[in-house]
Structure 1
Amino acid sequence: MGVLGLTPFIQKTIPEAIKQLPDRLKGLSGQRIVIDGTLITQRLHFAQIPHPYRHVLGWYRILKELRQHGVEAVCVFDGKERNIAKAREALKRKEAQRLATAREVIERERLNRLQQLQGALRHFDWSNSTERSQLSALLQQISSHQLETTDDSVFDAKIETEETLPFPPFDLSDSLWQAGAVPVGPDDTSATAFSQNYRDEDPVWPSDPLDEEILAALSEGHGKPSPPKHIPDTTRTSTSTTPWVSKPAAAIPATPVPDEPLPFEEVSNLVSSLYGEYRKSIPKLTSVSQASRQDAGPSDADAEMAKVESEMSKNQQQLTLEEGKFWNTVSEPFGADIGDVDPSPSAMLEGLTQKSFVLSESYKRSSRPPTTKQYMESKELIKAMGVTCVDTEGAVEAEAVAASLVLNGYADYVASEDTDVLIYEAPLIRNITNRKEPLTVVSGAEVRSLLQLTREMYIDFALLLGTDFSQRIKNVGPARALKFIRTYGSIENIIQSETKYSPSVIPEYLQQVVAGRTVFQTLPPVPEAIFHREEPDEVKTNFLMGKYGLSSELEDYWEHALEGNYFNDNPSISFS
């Protein structure tokens, strides 16, 4: 996952360590790079295109670009064993995936509810005073009942795996896929949870939009929620950085809509039932949001995933408020001129459905890491295109083996997004999956030299920032960590001298430090498998592309989606 806050610290403190290659791989002609196959597959898996084999297409594009510019490559994937020192972080990521799954369940239920509403109300006559009054009375009666404050049953819900999900029709020319869904980070499949590598110095967690206020708003009056003061009114012009789609999405699965108006009794019964479901969804959302805050450990949290979770959870809560405004409009007693409401109930419902679909797709991606089958499909294509594939042996990670290959003279660069590579002091290439942007190169050895640290101090500096092995000490960011390590030379001396900044449980923290030092001080052996050269097999490559529905005529059609940056974490910008 990388070192917490290292990227922005390098950018701010020693920007000269960052080199850009505007011609990308053309500038590396004749050289050899080692690709972190596990992480790159994850990034391709989470690309914002709905094709089930987007990971295969992504690898095809990367390897084709390498071949075009005469760059040799080796791919290293994580093996079956995992480093026990990462157990704490693995558990944390698994919990993060559980929360994402719970949010997906909530959003799927909402999407189904909204689609049913669209069908039921398609022909509803809002000017009919009798039916309006009866419907309003039913909804007001439901809203008079007290809501539960929380509902943890959402954590027990089961969802289908990606392999069993029906694949809806899609249209990549639609703005849904061009504008992008809510960004989500990739998953570490070893822990079946998040492994995003971009970290900021200070984790950003949800800005505490209190769920109790939503609950209270629903319980007041006739179930007419008004947004709490600190939650933006998203029914007006939004200033959110998260793009919502601006027109109906062809990819939204269609719900059968009756051609003829339904009898009022059927409409009122269905709408009343769906309103009850909406109210029951509030305690579920409250439970998930509370769990998110409890799980937020600011000392060792992945800040980029925190930002993503913050945006997604805020969008989900804002969408709940917008749905509440829709119900408020529908439950207005006759006398209020609903025809003058802007937007109209039908327009509100259409917008809600579209947003809910985008959000549910985002949660679906964040809760489903690549499968073993998807890794095998990627490796099959990589080998067919003449690139050697290596699985790590023992409890070592792909980025460590990749760094070892470079430092032992078998390659020139590591292509990854994991800043652990820099602590091994290997040169790191980032942004290889975003073909529209320059590559960025940072040398770990140069970073250490510019920071004026010994090898031992450099490793301790990284551990102070926070890694998969060590938590960050509260109130010790990169600047303070660098000052302390230059002054005292080691973490033990810092803890002894700066008692104000001691970790909460010193013995446990020092165990983490020892484990981290061992990992960063020990280069894994060079695997024998790298000396086996794969021969390119064009026939097999073409067969695989056809097998996965990615034959040549589709390449240009999908290219614009793969060139985009799904995570809003533009590596070239962060290193500029």
Structure 2
Amino acid sequence: MGITKLADLIRSDAPDAVSYKDISDYTGKVIALDTSVVLNQFRAATPSLSPLTGVFFRTLTFLEHDIKPVFVFDGKPPVEKTPVLERRAQAAGWSPPKRTGMASSQTNDAIELLKHIGVPVIQAPGDAEALCAQLVRVGVVDAVASEDMDTLPFGANVLIRQLNAKRDSEVMEYSLPKLLEKLQINHEELVDLCILLGCDYCDKIPGLGPKRALTLIQKHRTIENVVLHINRMTHPVPHFWKYKEARKIFLDATENTVPELVWTEPDEEAVVGFLCHTKHVKEERIRHRMKTFHKNRENRREQRKMEKAAGYTRQTRMENFFRITRKREQPVEAPSSLGDGNKRPRSK
């Protein structure tokens, strides 16, 4: 779920915080992906098939564009998130989540596949989006790719949505510094705003819409002060409201150790052995995709060399200055790159 109606609020009150881009704009960038979002997208789109095939195809698309993906997996979720996870599982017809911190068989399969493809994998101690945000803050990655808006209150300076391989699709990039500037609030006040809008870690005040919530935060600055200035009859404050616990989760400044990030060439035989011989995906399909991957990546690299030699630079598209108010479309994906043993320094 992320943050209820935060995207709509940004579109109406801080449109300059959003820019529209193309997947190729991220060539050479290191992007952290909230992997559970990717897996759930494919689970929902093709419930009768394993999401691993989708992960394989999407990752190669990233690499074709020389985008460097870092896949971050969820760890043990905060206890405050349990009710939300149970509701989501029930609605989707999935098994209820277990708060053991142990990786599921699907997670283990995805990790094995991604290692065969040659991209870094990181296990977060808690929610993946929190660690993704930290990776951006400390400069280990350039941006976070996720459909969950709660990456912003976690402190990710750059959030990318709809980063995928679909043709003519637009990538939406959110700038946290611009968002705070346009809304005239600081990061702590944004966290309180997101709690009022509705987050995964506590209930919200009933009947309090996004416009009203923003106005109250801009005027009173904290949830404690907001509660003193609302009509408790029309906007009853939840009993035993755990907004302080939710606030702490978003603002937790714990710095986690990040392993050295290394990208290598995909191991085609290992991928085939895993997907085709273990997961029974048609080998012809995987071989064909690997062949087109190498061809497409080389073609794009040659094209960039020619453009660089000719002094070509990408211009910001004029649509970035105009098309701001339309509704968000279906999520898109992102690209990534490498295979030449490129390394990213570990954070200190």
Measured against the shorter chain, the TM-score band is: 0.7 to 0.9
**Where is the strand percentage greater, Structure 1 or Structure 2?**
2
Residue number in structure 1 paired with 2:313: none
Q: 1 CA distance for matches of 2:45 and 2:172? A: 20
Q: Residues 29 and 67 of structure 2 are in contact (CA less than 8 Å); yes or no, is this contact kept in structure 1? A: yes
Measure the CA separation in 2 of the matches of 1:413 and 1:524. 19
1:174-573 to 2 correspondence within 5 Å? Answer: 190=97, 372-393=104-125, 396-426=126-156, 427-433=158-164, 435-436=166-167, 437-500=169-232, 504-505=236-237, 508-509=240-241, 512-528=242-258, 530-533=259-262, 535-536=264-265, 537-547=267-277, 548-553=280-285, 570-571=330-331
Using the alignment, how far apart are the partners of 1:442 and 1:519 within structure 2? 21
- Alpha-carbon separation, structure 2, partners of 1:7 and 1:484: 18
List per-residue Cα deviations over 1:66-116 (Å, max 9, x = no partner). 21111112111012x22012233334445x44xx65xxxxxxxxxxxxxxx
3-state SS of 1:497 partner:
coil
* Deviations 1:17-67, CA, capped at 9 Å, x for gaps: 221123x1x2111110001111211111222374x33x1221111211121
Structure 1 residues 505 and 553 mapped into 2: Cα distance closer, same or farther (>3 Å)? closer
Q: How far, CA to CA, are the matches of 1:189 and 1:66 in structure 2?
A: 32
The Cα shift of 1:506 comes to 5.1
Is the contact between residue 3 and residue 194 of structure 2 (CA under 8 Å) also seen in structure 1?
A: yes
Q: Deviations over 1:517-564 (max 9, x none)?
A: 101111442333x315253323212323422314343668xxxxxxxx
> Following the alignment from structure 2 to structure 1, what is the Cα–Cα distance between the partners of residues 97 and 17?
31
* Corresponding residue number in structure 1 for 2:70: 74
Per-residue CA deviations over 1:444-479 (Å, capped at 9, x if unaligned) read 232122111022211111110010123221221110
Identify unmatched segments of 5+ residues in structure 2. 290-327, 333-348
Percent of aligned positions with the same letter in both sequences? 25
2:57 aligned to 55, 61, 75, which one? 61
Please name the residue that 2:38 is paired with. Answer: 40
Distance in 2 between the 1:450 and 1:188 partners?
Answer: 42
Alpha-carbon displacement from aligned partner over 1:368-406 (angstroms, at most 9, x marks no partner): xxx92222222211111111111122xx20010011111
Which amino acid is 1:77 matched to?
Answer: F
1:84 aligns with 2:82: no
Contact 1:473 1:502 in 2 (8 A): no
Letter in 1 for 2:222: S
Determine the C-alpha separation between the residues in 2 that align with 1:189 and 1:30.
39
Describe the SS at the equivalent of 2:140.
coil
Q: Which residue number corresponds to residue 11 of structure 1?
A: 11
Distance 1:538 1:446 in 2: 42
Indicate conservation of the 8 Å contact 2:155/2:187, yes or no.
Answer: no
8 Å contact kept, 1:401–1:523: no
Quick one: structure 1 residues 411 and 57, their matched pair in 2 at CA, closer, same or farther if it must change by over 3 Å? same
Aligned-partner Cα distance in 2 for 1:472–1:464: 6
**Conserved in 1, the CA contact under 8 Å of 2:206 and 2:235?**
yes
Give the conservation status (yes or no) of the 8 Å contact 1:464–1:470: no
Taking structure 1 as reference, are residues 19 and 421 closer, same or farther at Cα in structure 2, changes over 3 Å only? same
For 1:82 and 1:71, the matched residues in 2 are separated by 29
Q: Is the 8 A contact 2:20 2:172 kept in 1?
A: yes
Distance 1:422 1:389, change over 3 A: same
Measured in 2, the distance between the counterparts of 1:37 and 1:524 equals 21
- Decide whether the 8 Å contact of 1:82 with 1:190 is kept in 2: no
Q: Secondary structure at the match of 2:262?
A: coil
**1:111-136 deviations in whole A, cap 9, x for unaligned?**
xxxxxxxxxxxxxxxxxxxxxxxxxx
Paired residues of 2:4 and 2:197 also in contact (CA < 8 A): yes
User: Residue type of the partner of 2:127?
Assistant: E
Kindly indicate whether the alpha-carbon contact (under 8 Å) linking 2:61 and 2:165 is maintained by their aligned counterparts in 1. no
- Alignment partner of 2:174: what SS? strand
Number of residues paired by the alignment?
A: 286
Kept after mapping to 1: 8 A contact 2:71/2:121? yes
- 1:43 partner letter: Q
Letter in 2 for 1:449: E
Q: How far apart are 1:434 and its partner, in Å?
A: 5.5
Structure 2 counterpart of 1:519, which letter?
I
Q: Are the counterparts in 1 of residues 21 and 173 from structure 2 also a CA contact under 8 Å?
A: yes
Distance in 2 between the 1:90 and 1:502 partners?
Answer: 28
Runs of 4+ off more than 4 Å: none
User: CA RMSD, aligned part only?
Assistant: 2.7
In structure 2, what is the Cα distance between the partners aligned to 1:523 and 1:418?
20
Q: Which is greater in Rg? A: 1
With the length of structure 1 as denominator, give the TM-score of the two structures.
0.46
Higher helix share: 1
Shift of 1:501: 6.1
8 Å CA contact retained: 1:416, 1:429: yes
Question: How many Å apart are 1:442 and its aligned residue?
Answer: 0.8
